[in-house]
Amino acid sequence: MPRVLVVARREAVRNAVGRALDGWEIHICATQRELSNLVGSAGGDLIVAECGSVDSIAPFRRVSLASGVPVIVIGSGAERGDGFGADCIESGADDYVSWPFSDRELRARAEIRALGTKARSGRWGGLEINGSLHQVFVDGRPVELTNKEYDLLTFLVSAPDRAFSKQQLLSAVWRSTVEWQSDATVTEHVHRLRQKLERDSARPEYIVTVPGVGYRFQAPATVTSDSETQFAS
């Protein structure tokens, strides 16, 4: 269950976030200092912050950089149409929704961001990931991945058998959109991963194409992951 830290001055916004993320562990922070203390003491998977200006993003971004917890900014609603969302992302937010938002939109964006924070260690068939060492093995052989290749792989692994579109992957892994960056970037990185991980890149076992959607990580029938797998430090 993802742990979400919410800083919002309006009760209506706090209630809407709680409704959209029903079933998640929600902590309401009255101040940025309380947010910092909670992240430092117990961690989190996502920060949701209501911001009325680009300048107000900076404190949340500092917490995010120090902790690795992504930030979704909720705009006040008055900024819609003037590029405020793009300004927020360029200023360090990981994602943006404008008020009022739909429950479905916030939950979809929150799921992508929260999944991205889950460092994975485990074994899926012949594929092993050691999250603490930032290392990947195939059939016991170490495989050298670029940072983005590793980020893409661990994001897909965080939700086995779930299909993600190229646009979703651009947003989650590159913090970008098709307006700013071609989705061919995703295609090329998937190609490179298959070359490095698959026994036969033409018939991938792990990263498979979902026609009309995008890609998903296909977990083998026998899987050991996270706490079930003990790796040497």
Structurally, at CATH architecture level, domain 122-228 sits in Orthogonal Bundle (1.10)
Helix (H, G, I), strand (E, B) or coil at 181: coil
Q: Which of 58, 54, 63 is nearest to 35 (CA)?
A: 63
Q: What share of the chain is helix, strand, coil (3-state, %, to 5)?
A: 40, 20, 40
Model confidence at 231: pLDDT above 50: no
- pLDDT above 90 coverage of the chain, percent: 42
Tell the CATH topology of 3-116: Rossmann fold (3.40.50)
Per-residue pLDDT of 96-151, as tens digits, reads 998 999 998 899 888 877 766 555 678 888 999 987 677 899 999 999 999 889 88
For residues 45 and 65, the answer to whether their CB atoms sit within 8 Å is no
Q: Which residue has the higher pLDDT, 189 or 65?
A: 189
| Residue 95 backbone class (left: φ over 0; alpha: ψ -120 to 50; beta: rest) | beta
Model pLDDT, residue 15: 96
Q: Which of 178, 41, 56, 193 is nearest to 129 (CA)?
A: 193
Burial level of 186, CB count in 10 A (0-12/13-18/19+)? buried
Per-residue pLDDT of 69-96, as tens digits, reads 889 999 876 655 567 888 888 888 888 9
Model pLDDT, residue 151: 86
| Domain definitions of the chain by residue range | 3-116, 122-228
Q: Is pTM, for the whole model, over 0.75?
A: no
